[in-house]
Amino acid sequence: MSEHDVLVHGHCDPRFAAVRAAFEENVRERQELGAAVAVVVDGSTVVDLWGGWADAARTRPWGRDTVVNVWSTTKGPVALCAHLLADRGLLDLDAPVATYWPEFAAAGKEKVLVRHLLSHRAGLAGLREPHTLEQLYDWELTTRRLAATEPWWEPGTRSGYHALTYGHLVGEVVRRVSGLLPGAFLEREVAGPRGIDFTIGRPERDAGRIGELVQAPAPPGGDGSAAALPSEPAAVAALANPAAGAAAANTAAWRAAEIPAANGHGTARGVAALYGLLMGGGTPGGGGLLSPSAAERVREGQGSCRDLVLGAGLAHETEIGLGLWLSGPNGSYGPNPRAFGHDGFGGSCGLADPEAGVSMGYVMNRMGPHIADDPRKTALIDAVYGAL
């Protein structure tokens, strides 16, 4: 078998044959290594495909239960934890963060609201003091520093992508309210009871089924690639303090840490199931989770703008809801502008479209250079909507 051949396994409803074709084309034309895609429509799984290789040396085939680090696609499940607490009346998204986390009021942050954390509008895209990966792995140190630091811009006025800090900010509120770190809360309240194969971090006992991430070189900038990242102080803090890539994410230390913005590990089925829960649906046989009003709140737009952190790397304005990005006029998550989702560094994504009754998960291990809207993801989404 040549490196451009792929043996695709799994199930695909004949109506969605174009999704299988796009999945195979990703290998032939878009340099896929190993990947999986799952699509749920009206509670039924219509696509559950996987193929390729779980390691760079092509010695381990990608299996049905291969899991992989999905980077910022993790942010959707973390937002789900906050929305679930709000739906239970335990968390007020319009309350100051300091209501639940008193130390957070330092340095002029007493008026920062919980919704500002969810929508990347808190002005805390990154820390001002140097922060290493090893320090990021220390939950108490990282949250203490975030509580003490001052915002980079006036909170609530516009978005600036909180690449790594998002998980500690929203996650500490989850911890203060529930008594559990977000990984434990997600497992106890959501994933565990529903048999969803997705965790924040991953036990080392699962190392044999974790896909090895491979970092692709960045092409010249200007097309939404990583090379086009901005150089403003807030952006540098967000994206390079600390910097993380495939080499770090392949280590036991990364997997053992609680990094709710970036170290979720799961299957495509797990991602599709969690994003389905965000729209008030559920896994097949699993039932719903959020009330209709809570599910609608997830995609409550907070204002379109050129993101302060990602702006130079994206060709258009974007709008974030309460934890998820809206598809908007750019169609990042399909043609419905009110569909929503989240991309992960290198290409993965989860999406939900309540009007179409669709949720989707796409995971892979060869990281592409794009900040968002990786061509492999876009090809799969186009195929899904072409079949509806």
Which residues have a catalytic role annotated? 72
For residues 125 and 238, is the Cβ–Cβ distance under 8 A?
yes
Calpha distance 238→235 (Å, rounded): 5
Beta strands at 325-326 and 340-343: parallel, antiparallel or unpaired = antiparallel
For residues 34 and 212, is the Cβ–Cβ distance under 8 A?
no
Calpha distance 297→192 (Å, rounded): 24
Q: Which residues pair with 34 in a beta bridge?
A: 52
Distances in Å between the Cα of 281 and the Cα atoms of 42, 83, 276, 289, 337 are 8, 14, 5, 7, 19
For residues 341 and 332, is the Cβ–Cβ distance under 8 A?
yes
Dig out the tokens for 109 from the structure.
């942050």
What single letter denotes the amino acid at residue 95? A
For residues 201 and 259, is the Cβ–Cβ distance under 8 A?
yes
